Structure 1
Amino acid sequence: MKVRCRTTCQTCRSRKIGCDGKTPSCTQCLFRNVECPGYSSNWIFVPQNRLAAPHATPWGDSPALAEKKAISNRAGLKSKRRGGKPATSRSTAFNKPDARSLGDLIDIILQGYVPGLDVAASIDETTPRICGAWAEVLPELVSNGANAAMASAIKAFALSILVGGQNPGLDKTAAIEAYSSALRSVSEAIQAPHGSPAPELVAAVMCLLFAELFLPTSLESWTTHLEGLGELMQTCRPEAYVGGIPHRLFVGARPALIVLGIQSRKPSFLARDEWRLTPFREICPSPVQALMSEAAIIPSILEKLDQTRRMTPESSKAACNGVLTELNGLLERLDLWATNFLSLSAAAQFWYEPTREAGRERIWFVNLTAANGLTHFWAFKAICLTNVERVLVLHPDMASEIRVAQPSILEEMKQLSVMICQSVEYLMQGQMKLFGPTSVVLPLQTAYEIFRMGGAQTKDELNWCREILRVVFRGYHFLALFFEEFRN
């Protein structure tokens, strides 16, 4: 039998959705604007033979059954490992580059990628956390055995962490060989006939994606993997991602796909309403995922603005007017998101702390979710303002139609970029593992480009940002791939 979690309110339990157990109201009830009934103080033991479901999703189990099986499978994986030989501790597995068991390899991934607070938390919780949602499904996916593509991708990801993140002095030969083998295995699995991609295949591609990043080879290769992941996910309807493991993979992959769209200035399927809304039909989006839903339309706005350069003056002005309207609306929704997010708690979500460098206070956050959400909010808002400025360069007579006074646009962009730079130290703490460095890519790119664009007005800030980047790159060389000036 298994133990039912007592930090799940009755509303979330009846709806069969994840509950974060917060008091006096859980986040799900808060976002739905309903009264949270609270939590029972009694433990309830549920017999395993009650695991039955009336219907199935396109990927097999219903969301309710998938959630129940997740707990059972994790427990089964742990008992299997205890039954054969003593379980390898995470610290031991992490220092074994030749680890062969999938359990040890997954331990390496969780220990190296998932932030410390997530690792310390009970992995039996059904509510996915913002930082490790997709990585935490790996034990569930392999609990009853793993196919060749899944196993090889896990090995490639684990060894890439060892040689690229924590032990850069290790010989990369084994990691490169594992990556090459996984690439062939996953390619064969993708080409094999199938009606819809299994969760194992999506997770395998995500493992390859991060293995490519941490080795690394080239930014183009990483981008190709990410584009392929998007195409693979689109082979299913958005209804396939409403719950269970598919939903957790979706929320894990979505931020990277949105960042890719912003960087390439090309819209993706994630901007369509069905993809922004349907996957969250049963599970209320977290604040950060709600922010990503707004950001998903940024690439399409950027593409429209780029297209105006090839238009006649009359057509360009009409198109730019539409772009400006979209940017104004998005800026309003972003500000509304920030207002709602900052009001979730009576306590401050972030604050300033003095540093040794005069005039360069650092920003500290109440938790990683606040840091991840606010730094990306500042980046998204700065991107919108940057493109408002570009519209005004093309058509200065539109200044009266913007929501921000023109002389203050650059100043606000500069201030947002400064706040991003002040936040880096928090995100680069050792306990943030590899999630921290990967989460700063878009915010730092945005700040860096704005300081470059500012010329003499932001010369000091640009030099400061460059110094921050040099410090960041010393520990995580792969980040230099995203900054052309620093690529080897």
Structure 2
Amino acid sequence: MLHKLFVGFRPFLIIKACHARQETFLGLHEWMHIPFSIFEPSPMQGLLSRIAIVPSLLQQVDQLLGSPSQSDTNAWDIFNAFTNTLSNLQYWEEGLRRESGSAYYEQLPASSSGEGNITTWFLNVTMANVYTHLWAFQIVCLLELERLEAVLSHVSPSPTFSDRVQFRYDQEKVLKISSLICSSMDYLIQNEMGLFGPASTFFPLHGIPGVCDGQIYPRGRHCAY
């Protein structure tokens, strides 16, 4: 019973901490691993374990930008932590696909939304929830890397920078991920999803400034359901 309560509240608490840009106890090693030492984590819980550190990193970015006395070393540490998070998310998602042996989603022509537009369709609503949140957290990390790169533009790269270049901020990458989120909305707001589907859209659409108002992804202004 306690485990069910924990996994039920965990997504809400981590997302709330991201909104507040404040670290949470759920980012501590023991809270990411001990609760799942007996019970196998679901894909959503596995994702949350890999992004539970993000609220703390967001807080560190705010402290860095708000205090000129912070050192370049601190900035590089935060930068590397974000790239590590993106790397972990990539490897986790690749493992998820290998385990299933098939794709959890596919992109289809959306005849109702106009020529050239596509819709992303999922194996089930659980995986739709997992992937839209995965993409949302990837965007969060990439946007913070953009802010950090601006701070670090005057200093030499850290020794690990070249190894992590594929995880740097890239506008085209952010646009592509944003398009995946927006093209998933037709699936999530189907009537048969009840309240669960629409409720799952809150963080991917509204938790990231610019996604649903067209600032990051031009079509985003049309998917703010």
Partners in 2 of 1:384 and 1:410 — Cα distance? 13
1:374 corresponding residue in structure 2: 131
Distance 1:407 1:379 in 2: 16
* Change in 2 beyond 3 A, CA 1:364/1:394: same
Q: Which residue of 1 aligns with 2:187?
A: 426
In 1, Cα distance between equivalents of 2:167 and 2:40: 37
Structure 1 contact 353–361 (Cα < 8 Å) conserved: yes
Q: Which residue of the partner structure matches residue 331 of structure 1?
A: 86
Q: Does 1:437 align with 2:189?
A: no
Query: Alignment partner for residue 65 of structure 2, among 305, 309, 318?
Result: 309
- Determine the structure 2 residue equivalent to 1:84: none
8 Å Cα contact 1:351-1:364 kept in structure 2:
yes
Bigger Rg, structure 1 or 2: 1
Shift in CA distance, 405/338, structure 1 to aligned 2, threshold 3 Å:
closer
Is 1:318 aligned to residue 79 of structure 2?
A: no
Mapped contact 1:383–1:446 kept (Cα < 8 A): no
Q: Give yes or no for contact 2:214–2:220 (8 Å, CA) kept in 1.
A: no
Identity of aligned residues (%): 32
TM-score, normalising length from structure 2?
0.89
1:382 is matched by which residue type in structure 2?
A: I
- Normalising by structure 1, report the TM-score: 0.42
Q: Following TM superposition, by how much is the alpha carbon of 1:417 offset from its aligned partner in structure 2, in angstroms?
A: 0.7
* Conservation of the 8 A alpha-carbon contact between 2:128 and 2:188: yes
Asked if 1:346 is matched to 2:107, the reply is no
Q: Contact (CA 8 Å) 2:108, 2:119: kept in 1 or not?
A: yes
1:256 equivalent to 2:12? Answer yes
Extract unaligned runs of 5+ from structure 2: none
Native 8 Å contact 2:139 2:177 kept in 1: yes
1:288 aligns with 2:44: yes
Structure 1 residues 451 and 432, CA gap change in structure 2 (3 angstroms): closer
- Preserved CA contact (<8 Å) 1:355 1:362: yes
For 1:35-74, list aligned pairs within 5 A.
none
SS of the equivalent of 2:99 reads coil
Task: Answer yes or no: is the 8 Å Cα contact 1:320–1:391 preserved in 2.
Answer: yes
SS for the counterpart of 1:348 is: coil
- Is this contact kept in 2: 1:305–1:323, CA < 8 A? yes
Corresponding letter in the other structure for 2:115: A
Measured at CA, do residues 396 and 450 of structure 1 come closer, stay the same or move farther in structure 2, by a change above 3 Å? farther
State the SS of the aligned residue for 2:13: helix
Q: Deviations over 1:200-256 (max 9, x none)?
A: xxxxxxxxxxxxxxxxxxxxxxxxxxxxxxxxxxxxxxxxxxxxx111111111001
The one-letter amino acid paired with 1:347 is S
Greater relative CO, 1 or 2 (CA 8 Å, sep 6+): 2
The corresponding residue for 1:359 is 116
Q: Residue 376 of structure 1 contacts residue 442 of structure 1 at CA under 8 Å; is this kept in 2? A: yes
Shift of 1:346: 2.1
Measured after TM superposition, the shift of residue 446 of structure 1 is 4.8
- CA deviation after TM superposition for structure 1 residue 317, in Å: 1.8
- What corresponds to 2:174 in structure 1? 413
> Per-residue displacement from partner, 1:429-460 (whole Å, max 9, x unpaired)?
11211111111111112565257695xxx5xx
SS of 1:282's partner is: coil
Question: Is the contact made by 2:104 and 2:123 (CA closer than 8 Å) also made in structure 1?
Answer: yes
Query: Shift of residue 428 of structure 1?
Result: 1.0
Cross-structure match for 1:58: none
- What is the letter of the counterpart of residue 44 of structure 2? V
Match runs of 1:141-290 below 5 Å:
245-290=1-46
Q: Secondary structure at the match of 1:449?
A: coil
